[in-house]
Amino acid sequence: MELLEAVEACGVVGAGGAGFPTHIKLKAQSEYFLVNAAECEPLIETDKYLCRSQAQRLVDTVGKIAAHLNADKPVIVLKDHYHEEIKAVEEAIKELNSNVTIFKIRTFYPAGDEQSLVEQVTRRSVPERGLPLDVGCVVSNVGTVLSVADALEGKPVDWKYLSVTGDVNEIKMFHVPVGTPVLKILEKVNIRPKDYSVIMGGPMMGKMLSDKKAIEEAVVTKTTGNLLVIPSDHYLVRRSNLPLRTMIRQAASVCIQCRMCTDLCPRYLIGHDVFPNKVMRNVWREENITDNDSYLEIFGSAANCCSCGACEMFSCPMGLSPRRMNEYIKGKLRQRGIDVPKNTSPQARSGVDIHKIPTERLIARLGLSEYDTHKSPNDLIEFEPEECIIPLSQHIGKPASAVVSKGDSVNKGDLVAKAAEGLSANIHCGIDGLVTDVTDTKIVISKRGDNL
Ligand code: SF4
Ligand code: SF4
């Protein structure tokens, strides 16, 4: 089977981000194929584990994808302090006599942001709201490349690797079927606080599960790479629960217009027009601006914000929320039908290399230093839950459509939902069992057929 066909059939999507269908991303020709092994967010172990444990498969598949893309520059990007991972990948390159190279970047946030990564490796800036392909690059992360390796062996994306980090006795690596309830994983971890919250992903851009119900309902999807456990009275939980109106009020009364949010913004640094300080200065009067041209002039730059959170989690000395304000304004720009012009040839600003946010200082600022143990797990816990709840939308684009019905018997690896036309992806099941429920949003599979 051709690479693209295999990737599409096996339902491969971006493993580390929003789940962009990989067969669509790889329908391209490029100069560079960049593999993000820099683990963008702090306190995530998954990509590092995969680099150490599957270096040969990684390098081999990077070569195959690069050949498919006609990319003569296949590059694996690692942080310079990932000594073990760099060694494993270097040995694999040597062993396979591969043309893949390693690019070491400093430990900063957001090192793994696609556009910052492209700028660091190639010194090219991706156009505003553009794609790496616009400057000759395709970027994938380690998990995605290994899903392609599986697809080339006929295995669909039905299991996921993920780390559990934070306020736990020991950081652990798991390998579980897609659809595994998060609680079943947490039961296998010694969680220290009695009352805890969970961030699915990393502390900067992950999804906060701050109450018991949200944790009970959460399941592992194709894009889950980490569960970060924190006490439920942690600063990050309190911050995520701040109402929008309070944030707007704070912006009006507390912002000192120091510009740190803008000057350290990674998208501003690669040359995009992103001016969160301007948004913060004016957001209190936003509803009173009726003229769309004035609105565009004052708030248009919010459209270029990638929601990385650097401004509100690190840069702002007053603890304000420029990211949330930008997200709010983006919605308003859409509502008003304002089309924000794009700069298609941005140039990185002069401070791009010196204004990087050191990850260790970011971790301290987030109140997470005590969980930054620098101990990487090498053991893997694999288990199957009794029941998997498989969401039909685990990717950007249209949800997949169920092709099974209640009462059907299914086996591990079976297709259970077919991709819709256009941007979508197939979904497979990771356990043998019986389908006990099918709704518009999920398929439930039970090993014993409970509740049938
Ligand atoms: S969240 Fe803040 S730092 Fe990140 S891109 Fe948006 S404005 Fe810039
Ligand atoms: S960093 Fe904070 S205080 Fe400074 S301009 Fe931005 S929002 Fe205002």
Verify whether ligand 1 is closer than 6 Å to residue 305 (CB atom).
Answer: yes
Question: Is 276's pLDDT higher than 80?
Answer: yes
* Residue 39, pLDDT score: 77
CA of 76 to the centre of ligand 1 (A): 26
Verify whether ligand 1 is closer than 6 Å to residue 270 (CB atom).
Answer: no
CA of 309 to the centre of ligand 2 (A): 13
Verify whether ligand 1 is closer than 6 Å to residue 173 (CB atom).
Answer: no
Evaluate the CA torsion angle 294, 259, 113, 371 in order and state its sign: negative
CA of 280 to the centre of ligand 2 (A): 7
Peptide bond into 110 cis (omega under 30): yes
**Cβ atoms of 416 and 404 closer than 8 Å:** yes
Question: Is 376's pLDDT higher than 90?
Answer: no
**Cβ atoms of 220 and 388 closer than 8 Å:** no
* Residue 375, pLDDT score: 82
* Residue 353, pLDDT score: 87
Using most ligand atoms within 8 A of CB, pick from 248, 253, 259, 260 the residue to mutate for ligand 2.
260
Once rounded to an integer, what is the mean pLDDT over residues 313-340?
97
Using most ligand atoms within 8 A of CB, pick from 247, 256, 325 the residue to mutate for ligand 2.
256
Question: Is 386's pLDDT higher than 90?
Answer: yes
* Residue 452, pLDDT score: 63
CA of 45 to the centre of ligand 1 (A): 24
Verify whether ligand 1 is closer than 6 Å to residue 110 (CB atom).
Answer: no
22: part of which helix (H) or strand (E)? helix 22-25
Q: Alpha carbon of 263 to those of 248, 272, 277, 320, 349: distances in Å?
A: 21, 12, 9, 15, 10
* Residue 10, pLDDT score: 98
Q: How confident is the model at residue 17 (pLDDT cuts 50, 70, 90)?
A: confident
Report how far residue 410's alpha carbon sits from residue 434's, in angstroms, rounded to the nearest whole number: 6
Ligand nearest to the CA of 274: 1
Q: Which residues contact 281 (CB under 8 A, 6 or more apart)?
A: 255, 257
Residues with CB under 6 A from ligand 2: 255-261, 276-277, 280, 315-316, 318, 320, 322
Using most ligand atoms within 8 A of CB, pick from 128, 305, 314, 327 the residue to mutate for ligand 1.
305
Kindly report which listed range (210-214, 314-318, 346-350, 447-451) carries the lowest average pLDDT score: 447-451
Verify whether ligand 1 is closer than 6 Å to residue 322 (CB atom).
Answer: yes
Question: Is 374's pLDDT higher than 90?
Answer: no
Q: What is the layout of strands, in order, in the sheet containing 442-446?
A: 387-391, 442-446, 433-438, 409-410
* Residue 235, pLDDT score: 94
Verify whether ligand 1 is closer than 6 Å to residue 451 (CB atom).
Answer: no
Ligand nearest to the CA of 253: 2
* Ramachandran area for residue 75 (φ above 0: left; ψ -120 to 50: alpha; else beta): beta
Task: Please give the domain boundaries of the chain with CATH numbers for all domains.
Answer: 3-152 (3.40.50.11540), 158-234+367-385 (3.10.20.600), 244-354 (1.10.1060), 386-452 (2.40.50)
* Residue 378, pLDDT score: 85
State what percent of residues in the chain have pLDDT above 90: 93
**Cβ atoms of 165 and 370 closer than 8 Å:** no
Atom 5 of ligand 1 has which residue's CA nearest to it? 305
Q: Taking the mean position of all CA atoms in its chain, how far away is CA 95?
A: 31
Once rounded to an integer, what is the mean pLDDT over residues 347-375?
92
Atom 8 of ligand 2 has which residue's CA nearest to it? 255
**Cβ atoms of 4 and 68 closer than 8 Å:** yes
Atom 4 of ligand 1 has which residue's CA nearest to it? 308
Atom 5 of ligand 2 has which residue's CA nearest to it? 257
* Residue 449, pLDDT score: 64
Once rounded to an integer, what is the mean pLDDT over residues 339-361?
93
| Atom in ligand 1 nearest the alpha carbon of residue 267 | 5
Ligand nearest to the CA of 256: 2
